[in-house]
Each structure stands twice: as structure tokens, then as C-alpha cells.
């Protein structure tokens, strides 16, 4: 049934009421999927705080067992859209794994991941680096102290097992980036090796996020890269030590997106704008601060701790969501930007984000052949939908809900300024993907521009 979606009335400084343009929503009853991670928060908050309902949408938010099933359910129409790994829409669109044209108008968050090692590995890392022999060692911690452990295992005919959540996940690329920056080859994908083990010094395998701590405890993995609350749970249980967050691998990196099929987006353009408006409001609420403190995070954590959402203990979720992060029980650090849901123009669908993921897919062999720079840009632009985001943002500004300054300037071209805020100091310029690809010692190199 179609509903007329009436945008909220905004009270301006003049106290006059202005009603924004109404949208005719093509579909008002929706099912959205998510994985039990704290960065599903924008979807959950948009539902629980009534932002979807304000936009005329009745939404069910449904947990999915793993990333593959989530993507399959979006493609087959069981779900209208979902909380997705940033790499999923891109990989599906180019046909790595499941082939389908997936698009995104909205980035859900920045940062939010960590790399945790087992207690036994941590003790060996401390032996290799005296600076780590402290209750509060200096950060960020590189993988340099891990390399001798990896090398020794290889000499004994073993490859240390490590975990990440999905082949096209940020976690996979972040773990690989961290290892490679210290001279550890994480392995290559080939046309015949879809596990990515070829020439690797370690073996990096897929593990569903909630199972990460148990794999560390059992010894199935000696390290993993995952989102929260699964690093903090390792600290709480005393089974591992987070050694670095992805903020220190790539400062303010894009983590998850809201994904839908291109066909769904084309069939439901007004519904997609309405969804994007609700998610923007949720992101803004999550990042609200007073006197430098995140004022809504405790409420968000209580909501997320419910069994139908993340289902972890409030205290564990709150550890990282409150602007702090525990590396050890003796090492609690302020990290206001561990989870970013709105500021820094986090939610805009930047083309340069898409290009970065494509460079990593090529670096590690998931893209098997060299591509010209133009292909990277064209592919990113076929997946990211800034026009949808702009329409939603403009409506919210017109309604007085947000300010124009909350969003990138109208002339912004979708490419962030070049940055060297990576653990290895290599500069990334989204407009020069081939140069960036070739700047790394380990991984594929290309000549085509």
C-alpha cells in the first residue's frame, strides 16, 4: 500500500512553520537485515527512536546468520536492504563471489574494528619488543613483533591461523594491511585459490563475528580482526589482547554501508530517499555530544544489548561505544572516534571509499587482471549514490532538522583529499588508484593508467 510520506515540520528561528515537499513512498512495509555488531546501530536506532516511522515507513530489523546469507537475502528479495560490509556492494557488482548489482546511498559508520591476539601470542610479542612489556604499552602496535613468531612457525612447517569475517570485509583488508606493513605476506587470491592462501606466511580464514572469541579460546585462531563487541569480549573474558584498532591502520576508514539492489533502488526511489533521511537522523543522534561527551551512546548500548539486536552485555558494548577502548583490563584509553556515525561527513557515499576497496581487491588478487584507472572510478560511481543522499540531506535541511554545514559542500566531487593517515604512512589519493596500488611492497602491481 502506498502512503503519502509527510516530512516533519521544522521550527525555524523566526518560529514560522515550514512544511517540506511530500514524498509518495512506493513501499512502506520493509524488512532490513543486519549482523550482530555494534555498527548496526543506525538501523536499530532509526527503528527504536521512530525515525523510520517519521518518514512513513514500517520497518522490521532482522538479524542474519552471516554476511553471505545477508547478501543472498537482499538479492532474492527476502530483505529490502541491509547493513553491509563496505566491500560487499562493490564485490557483488564486479562479480567477485555472488554476482548482483548492489548500490549504496549511505555509509553507516567509520572505524569500529580491532585486531586481537591470543594471550600466548601477546606474551611472545612482548618478548620480541620490550616496549610492550607494560600494562599500558605505546600505541599503535605494529606487527613487527609478530613477524619473528610467524617466521618461526613457518620454519617448523606451520602457518599461524588467523580470522577475519568475510573475504570482501574491511576486516580482511585491514588485517592484510597491518601484516603487510610489517613484511608479513598474508597470502594472495588467484583464479584457483579463492581462500587467499597462495604464498602466504599465515593463513587468514573466514569466521563469523560472534564466534571469534571462541576460536581464540580454542586455538583455532591465534589472532583475528573483527568489529565490536567481539574484541572487548576477549578482554572481558581474559582470553586475548587487542593490539590495534583500525583507526590506527587507516584513520577514519569507512566500515559498513546500507545496501540494496540496483533494481530495488530503481523501483523505489522515494522509499530510498525516505530510508536515507531516517538513517541520517539516526547517525546524527548517535554522534550527539555535550561538553565533548557522547550523550546518547549509553541509551544506544542498552537498546543494542537486547537479544533481538546485538545481544551482548551492556557493559561490553558500552566499553567501546562510550568513547573508550580497553586494550587490556589495565589499559583503558579514551577513543572518542572509535565509532563515528555522523561527524566528518561520515555518512556521505564517497567515491574515493569505493576506489580504495577496489585497490585492495586488486592488491590481493581478488581482481585477477590489471584494470585502467578509469575502471576504478566508473565502478565506484556505479555503486555509490550521492544523488540520493543529497536529496535526503536537502530535505532535512529544508525541514530545519539539520544544517547545510552538516553535509559536504554542493561542489564536492566525491573524492576525499589525499591522506597518509595509514600505519605505513603510504599516501592514498582516490584519483590515482594505480599509483597507490604500486606504492606497496607486498601485493600486485600494475602499469595501466
Task: Give DSSP secondary structure letters for 337-382.
Answer: TSEESSTTTTTS--HHHHHHHHHHHHHTTSS-S---HHHHHHHHHH
Over residues 185-230, the pLDDT tens digits come to 999 999 999 999 999 999 999 999 989 999 999 999 999 999 999 9
Spatial distance between the Cα atoms of 127 and 346, rounded to a whole number of angstroms: 39
Give the pLDDT confidence score for residue 10 in this predicted structure: 37
Question: Which pLDDT does position 449 carry in this prediction?
Answer: 63
Q: Write out the H or E segment, with its range, that includes residue 404.
A: none
Tell me, what's the pLDDT at 23?
A: 85
pTM: 0.94
pLDDT by residue (tens digit) across 225-264? 999 999 999 999 999 999 999 999 999 999 999 999 999 9
**Residue 437 and residue 444 in contact, taking contact as beta carbons nearer than 8 Å:** yes
Which residue in the block uniquely carries the three cell numbers 603487510?
180
- Dihedral over alpha carbons 279, 284, 287, 292 (to 10 degrees): 180
Asked if residue 159 lies in contact with residue 195, where contact means CB atoms within 8 angstroms, the answer is: no
Asked if residue 245 lies in contact with residue 113, where contact means CB atoms within 8 angstroms, the answer is yes
Largest CA distance in the chain: 76
Give the pLDDT of residue 292.
86
| pLDDT for the residue 146 | 98
- Domains in the chain, start-ordered, CATH in brackets? 3-109+254-290+342-438 (3.40.190.10), 113-249 (3.40.190.10)
Q: For residue 238, what are the CA distances in angstroms to 162, 165, 231, 234? A: 18, 22, 11, 6
177-181 own/partner pairs: CB under 8 Å, 24+ apart:
177/249, 177/250, 177/360, 177/422, 177/423, 177/424, 178/115, 178/142, 178/143, 178/225, 178/244, 178/249, 178/423, 179/143, 179/146, 180/440, 180/441, 180/442, 180/443, 181/142, 181/143, 181/422, 181/423, 181/424
Could you read off the pLDDT tens digit of each residue along the chain, which spans 449 residues? 444 444 433 333 333 334 545 689 999 999 999 999 999 999 999 999 999 999 999 999 999 999 999 999 999 999 999 999 999 999 999 999 899 999 999 999 999 999 999 999 999 999 999 999 999 999 999 999 999 999 999 999 999 999 999 999 999 999 999 999 999 999 999 999 999 999 999 999 999 998 999 999 999 999 999 999 999 999 999 999 999 999 999 999 999 999 999 999 999 999 999 999 999 999 999 999 999 899 999 999 999 999 999 999 999 999 889 989 999 999 999 999 999 999 999 999 999 999 999 999 999 999 999 999 999 999 999 999 999 999 999 999 999 999 999 999 999 999 999 999 999 999 999 999 999 999 999 999 998 66
Tell me what pLDDT residue 196 has. Answer: 97
Amino acid at each position: 500500500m502506498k502512503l503519502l510520506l509527510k516530512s516533519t515540520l521544522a521550527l525555524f528561528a523566526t518560529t514560522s512553520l515550514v512544511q517540506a515537499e511530500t514524498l509518495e513512498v512506493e513501499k512502506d512495509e520493509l524488512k532490513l537485515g543486519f549482523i550482530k555488531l555494534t555498527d548496526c546501530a543506525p538501523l536499530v536506532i532509526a527503528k527504536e527512536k521512530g525515525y523510520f516511522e517519521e518518514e512513513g515507513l514500517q520497518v522490521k530489523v532482522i538479524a542474519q546468520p552471516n554476511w553471505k546469507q545477508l547478501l543472498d537475502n537482499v538479492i532474492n528479495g527476502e530483505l529490502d536492504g541491509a547493513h553491509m560490509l563496505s566491500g560487499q556492494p562493490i564485490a557483488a557488482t564486479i562479480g567477485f563471489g555472488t554476482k548482483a548489482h548492489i548500490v549504496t546511498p549511505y555509509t553507516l559508520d567509520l572505524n569500529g574494528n580491532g585486531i586481537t591476539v591470543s594471550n600466548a601470542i601477546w606474551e611472545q610479542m612482548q618478548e620480541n619488543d620490550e616496549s610492550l612489556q607494560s600494562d599500558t604499552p605505546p600505541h599503535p602496535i605494529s606487527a613487527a613483533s609478530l613477524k619473528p613468531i610467524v617466521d618461526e612457525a613457518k620454519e617448523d612447517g606451520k602457518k599461524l591461523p588467523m580470522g577475519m569475517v568475510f573475504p570482501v570485509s574491511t576486516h580482511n583488508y585491514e588485517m592484510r594491511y597491518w601484516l603487510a606493513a610489517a613484511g608479513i605476506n598474508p597470502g594472495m587470491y588467484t583464479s584457483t585459490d579463492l581462500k587467499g592462501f597462495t604464498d602466504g606466511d599465515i593463513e587468514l580464514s573466514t569466521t563469523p563475528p560472534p564466534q571469534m572469541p571462541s576460536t581464540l579460546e580454542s586455538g583455532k585462531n591465534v589472532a583475528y580482526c573483527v568489529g565490536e563487541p567481539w574484541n572487548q569480549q576477549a578482554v572481558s573474558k581474559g582470553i586475548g589482547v587487542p593490539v590495534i584498532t583500525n583507526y590506527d591502520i587507516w584513520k577514519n576508514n569507512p566500515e559498513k554501508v546500507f545496501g540494496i539492489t540496483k533494481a530495488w533502488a530503481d523501483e523505489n526511489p522515494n522509499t530510498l530517499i525516505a530510508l536515507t533521511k531516517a538513517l541520517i537522523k539516526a547517525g546524527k543522534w548517535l554522534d550527539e555530544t555535550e561538553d565533548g561527551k557522547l550523550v546518547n551512546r549509553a541509551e544506544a548500548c542498552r537498546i543494542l544489548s537486547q537479544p533481538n539486536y546485538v545481544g551482548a552485555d551492556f557493559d561490553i558494548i558500552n566499553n567501546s561505544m562510550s568513547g573508550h577502548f580497553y586494550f587490556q583490563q589495565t589499559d583503558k584509553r579514551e577513543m572518542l572516534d572509535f565509532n563515528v556515525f555522523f561527524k566528518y561527513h561520515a555518512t556521505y557515499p564517497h567515491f574515493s571509499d569505493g576506489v580504495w576497496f577496489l585497490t585492495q581487491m586488486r592488491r590481493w588478487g581478488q581482481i585477477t587482471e590489471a584494470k585502467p584507472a578509469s575502471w576504478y572510478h566508473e565502478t565506484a560511481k556505479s555503486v555509490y549514490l550521492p544523488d540520493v543522499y543529497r536529496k535526503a540531506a536537502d530535505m532535512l535541511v529544508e525541514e530545519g532538522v539539520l544544517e547545510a554545514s552538516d553535509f559536504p559542500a554542493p561542489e564536492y566531487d566525491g573524492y576525499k583529499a589525499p591522506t597518509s593517515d595509514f600505519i605505513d604512512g603510504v599516501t592514498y589519493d582516490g584519483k590515482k588508484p594505480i599509483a597507490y596500488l604500486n606504492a606497496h611492497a607486498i601485493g600486485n602491481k600494475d602499469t595501466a593508467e
